[in-house]
Structures are given as C-alpha cells and as structure tokens.
Structure 1
Amino acid sequence: MISNKIFSKATKSILTLGIKNNNINRTFISLNNNNKENEFKRFQNRFGPFPEYVKIVEVGPRDGLQNEKIIVPTVDKIQLINRLAQTGLSVVEATSFVSPKWVPQMADNKEVLRGIEKVEGVSYPCLTPNIQGFRAALDAGAKEIALFAAASESFSKKNINATIEESLARYKDVCDAARENGIKVRGYVSCVLGCPYEQNVPISKVVYVSKKLYEFGCYEISLGDTIGIGTPGATHKLLQAMSQAIPMSAIAVHFHDTYGQALANILTSLQFGISTVDSSVSGLGGCPYAKGATGNVATEDVLYMMKDLGINCNVDMNKLMDVSLWISKKLNRSPSSKVSLALSHKASNSISNSDSNTNTNTNNTNTTNKSSEIPINCNTNINKMASEKEKQHIFISSNNQSTLVF
C-alpha cells in the first residue's frame, strides 16, 4: 500500500514534469472549448482518421415499415418519403417489390414509387428479390434497385426460399438485366455478425457472398447485422477481413440496435474509413423473418454522434425529428430514437415551464399548459431546452428558429 507521503511526492514530481515538458499535456483532454479542435485531432489520431463526410442511407420507408404491425396507408408512405427527402438525405429507400403474401406492408409498391415527388439529387432504391421483382420495379419507374443476399444458409432458405448459391444465381441475372437498362444496383448481405437460426456465421461466408455481389456489378455492399448481436470487437474482425476483398469505399454498414451496440459498431466502422451508414428514422423496423430482431439504429441518433465527431452528413436534424415524431404518431408509438425522445421531452418541459411563468406574470390569466404534449415541430423550442452540451449542435437562423444541420 502506498503511503500518503510517497503518493504526495509522486504527484509533485508528475506536476513538475508537466510544467517542464509541455508534451505531457497531450495525454490529458482539455475541457476548454478553445481547445476542442486540438482535442478532436488527438481523438482522430487515436481512433481515426474519420471520413469528413458520411452518406446516410435512410431505410425507414422500406426496412422500417415492412416490420410494423400497422400497415401504413399509401398516402402516408408517400408523405413520409417526401418529407425525408426534404431533410437533406440523399438516399431514401422507397419500397420493396416482393410478394404481398410474404410482406403485405409493401403491397402498394407501385403506387408508392409512382406517387412520390422525385427530388433532384435524391435516389430512391427499391428492394427486388428476383427478376420478376426487378421487372415490376422497372415498370414502376425505379432508377436504382437493391438485392438482398444472406451469409447464412438457413436464413437464406427461410427468407427467400433459396440456398445461398441459388440466390446468387438469381442475382446475377438481375444484375445483368439492370446493367442492360442502366439501373444502379446495391447489394445487401444479411446475418454478417450472427444468424437467428445458425447463431455464429463464419466471416469467410460473409466475404464470399459480398465479393460475389460486387463482382456481379453491385456498386455498394451493405453489411447487415440482422439480429443486432454484433459488438465492436466482432465488427473490427469482420471489416478487417472485408478490407482484403472489397474496396472499403464500396462497403456500407447496416446495424440493428437490439443489444444497444449499433452506435459503437458504427464508430468502429468509421475507424476503417467506412463512409456510408444505413439507418432508419425513429429507429423503425427490423426483419420480419428474424424473431426479436426489431430496431434499426435511429437516424437521429447516428446524426447526433456524427456531429460531435465533426463528420458532415448534410441532414437537417430539426426536420428529421419532425418526421420522426410524425411517423411515430401515425404508428401509435413513441420514437425509438433516444435523441428524439430526449429533445422532445425537454422541449415539452420547456413549454410547461414557459407556460407556468406566463401564468405567474399575468396573474393566472388563461394560458395553455402543454406539459403533457410532445410537440410535432421542435424548431422553435430546441434552443430553450438544450443543455450546454447540446447547444454546441445548434445554430440560430435569422428568423430566430433553431436549425441543426448534421
């Protein structure tokens, strides 16, 4: 056991060394805002470097809604996609051309794709499991499609009623047809960190399927943690292997937050230079074929983390939270996004406190107490309720409204 005298002497020596040698300061993190840039550079040197820009692929309208018990009306699906496209998102996955027998939530795929407003600079990929689905998507006006393979034999059979090799043969035909029609193709690989039926999935299987899709012509391969059991350690091993097979610029990540590991896994992916992340507004969805695998990582939560890392995503956080609260209300549920819940609750409390003060100042004249409401539009309330930490992410526009662009 170290005596107080020895401990005091050691502490004094360290402090003296710190005064004489400024380099020792590099091991300490300053809390001074003026040193924030230097702190971030040291953080990057340890964990990065991170990409300057990360593309967010919004999968809520497809992967999110397909696993909701409530079938959202077509008009609301169209409005959801249109509103998401107005947030700054450059990719909004629109729908899925699968059999309505298996996924009834996507039965109105043609009406949705034809009904949305196509915003310049925004792509609206559609999932197509086979050549029939591809032709239907093409007929509805699709300009980009997505294929969905699996690294697990059991999952592939239960999901699309085909072995891995049979599914790859189908997808080669789809990729060939897409190339002939000038259609971009994105590839998904599910069960990359675990399977609901086989449990562990060999990394070699993930690499094999991913490489095949890339060779077929998929411009991007999204690695999906279908049941959300992945950890940063497992993610690190997977991406290390993937980096030897496919350019990292062609890899995206798709994490479910079932075990609360999604953001940690995304952070690990950023360290590998991954610059495309799939997420779902309000944390909607999961996979209907994987029992218990609900909860895509919420887009709002991803953006909040990216902002603090200094990574640009070109997405307006306020508009996105408005959409999150709106679609959650349509589904009769609270948002699964921790950021949306935290900020909306603080905004609600801010309104309650403001109304309470108004009552006092006006001698209890009639005012509306909204403390029990969750505001659909958070724009005018965020600056009131934000803590000092959160205010770092808030920029006040000329009309006195808060604008968060992540």
Structure 2
Amino acid sequence: MTHYDVVINGGGMAGAVLALGLSQLKQANGLPLRIALIEQSRPEHNRHPGFDARSIAIAGHSQYLLQQLGLWPLFAELATPITDIQVSDQGHFGQVNLQATDYGLPALGYVVELTPIGQVLYQQLQQTPAIDLYCPAQIQDWQQAQDTVTITLNNSSQLQGSTIANRQLSTRLLVAADGNHSPISRQLKLPRRQFNYQQSAIIANVQTAKHHQHQAFERFSAEGPVALLPMSQGRSSLVWCVSNTRAEQLMALDDNDFLAELQTIFGYRLGRFTRTGTRHCYPLMLDEVPKPWHHRVVLIGNAAHLLHPIAGQGFNLGLRDVAALIEQTRHLLSLSSTQHSAFAHANEHNQAQSTLADIGGYAMLSRYGQSRQADQATLVGMTSALALLFSNNDPLLAAGRNMGLNVMAACGSLKHTLAWQAMGKR
C-alpha cells in the first residue's frame, strides 16, 4: 500500500490549486508532504468537466491569495483584468459604476478561461515532484479508520500516464474536491441544504462591435441577471440567468435570433452583438454542506457549496477554502517542527519521528471548519438573497432595486462596501 500525507480527489480548479499549494510545505524533517491527486479526465483532451468553455471571475483578493501561494504567474498571462464594473437594472435609471482607480488598484478582478488554465495547471501538477498524479483514475472504494483512510482505485487507473499494479493508497487526510456531485460527499451522507432557483444559466463567449475596454457589466432584468465579463481579443463571457422554460426557448434559437434577444435585454452599451460561440446551459441550484468535514475527510470548492452565479463568487469562495486549509496545515507543521526539534535534542541517540503533525486529525479539521463557517454562511445568504431579489418582476421589488442602486451610487460608504464585496474582501 502506498501512503500519502494528503490525497485529493478531483483535479479541477480547487483540487489542483490545493495540491500545488500544499506541495510547497515542509514536514518537520524538512521533506515535502507526499500528495496524491486523483482525477478521471485529462484537461488537454478538453474532456474535463471542471475546465470547460466557461470563464471564471477571480476577485482582487483571490489574485492576492494566488500570489501568496506562488501560483499567480501561472494565471497572469491568461488573465484579462476588470478595471470597471457597471451594475444596472433594465427599464430603470438606477446604476452603480465601480472603477479600480478609485481604490488605487490596477484591477478589481480578473477573468480566466477554464480550458487554457486547466491545461497549464495539469502540466504544473505533472512537473511537481511532491505530487503523484493519478490520471485517468477513479476511486472504486474507500474506508475510514482511526488513523488513516484507505483508498482503492479502479482497474484502469494510471500514475503519471502509466498503468499501475498497486491500486491501494492510504492517507491521513482525504480531500473531496470532486464537484457538486461529489461521490465522497454522498457516501458520507452529510446534511445538505438545497434550493432550486427554477433557473438556468446560459453560458457563451460573445463578440461585440465595441471593445469592452476591460469593463464588466451586471444587468438585472425581470427574467434574471445578465453578466458580461471582459475576455481576451475583445470578447466577453456571457452568463445569462433565466427561467428554465425561457432557457429552453433561447437555446433553441439560431445564433442571430439569440443575439437579438440578448440585445433587447442588455442594450447597446457595447454596440451590437456580432457573434456568439457555442452556448451551454446549466441548471441553477444552491447546494451547500453546512459542516463540510468528517473523520479524516474534508470537502472544498463546489463539493462543499454550489452557489448561484449572480455575484460571480463561486471560485473565490472555493479558493478561500483552499487557502484556509493550506494555512491550517502550515500552522500544524510549524508546531510539529518545533516539537520535533525538542524531541531530537532530548533524545540525541534516537531517531526522531518524521513528523508529529496529524494532518486530518479532529483538532485540525474542526479548526479549519470553524474558520470557514462564517464566510460560507455569509456568501450563501448574500447570493441567495440577490438571486431572489433581482430575478423578480414584482413592481414593488423592482422599484426597491432601482432606489437601492441610486442610493448606493450616491453614498460613498455603500458603494465602497459593494466594491470590497466584488473584490472578495471579507
């Protein structure tokens, strides 16, 4: 049986960043942690569900976290900055404009396409000595014991692209980064909080007559919010949230008719919509595990919380999970290193154990869970409230929305609060 300090199931954004971040940590004996990452799809074949045609918004604070982890250089060349954000409500005058220059920043956030960043992260995982990349591979079975989790991989599993004979792994900590349909989460039967918004998100890359000039737009309508995020080559990433029935109608249209419908909702802030890429449609659900940890198992990213995309904060919340888990591990290893030195000094003729840290122990996971509860609860509550408030054609709610945007535009402190929220500051 091959033993690892941490095994991560799922090599999407959250799992890949976690593996690379943890690989930089040192045990008490100076050696790096032994990390295994299990992933069933290779992103270079464009089959990975976590690295599809979508783009993600990386908030300003998330860019800082990636920089602290030494990973921002992997993202920087693929990232399009957001220097301005316009928030408006269709049919009303209420509008808020946020500019990075007002806060002395080069950008409020960044937009990254998932397909190219998936390929970059996959290459980095392959090149990192502390990480064993099992891909393609799937967990066939896993069992929790007092000190370890034992994992059995399926017969077709490969390690670094080569077929393996030993499919048995053990670890002190199993991380479920395997998406909102997480098999690990389902097997644990952890309590979940779910809500069906009765909406779908239509995702596409679109071209406009005018260059976006690095401006992002959030446009609210009776049908639901429409977001345009700036991308490379003057393109924009569209996220259009509508009812399920309306989504079916829009997906059935040809490109010209689809763009005409979008033009009616969004207006001419960027001139005419001239082209759309392939459209994808995703049902929108709130799916949250309020206590996303168990004995030697922890859930991160979409496995722990799937949010409505109205605030564009899904990846940013998952990244804060990753950063917190890395920080808790670093703290534990630091304490262990101090204890290890004292142990070795008092027992000069004995071989000190490699590490006294119990990664995956109850103390560490409970500290991690407690550190994440408030942030998760706040963001889940905020996105759910926004989704219900801004996807409603009730005249009173529409008037309230419009008044709120006008007040926010006029009140500096409220506008600053919105800006800090957009940048992911907590």
TM-score (norm 2): 0.26
| Larger relative contact order, structure 1 or 2 (CA cutoff 8 Å, min sep 6) | 2
TM-score (norm 1): 0.27
- Answer 1 or 2: which has greater strand percent: 2
Larger radius of gyration: 1
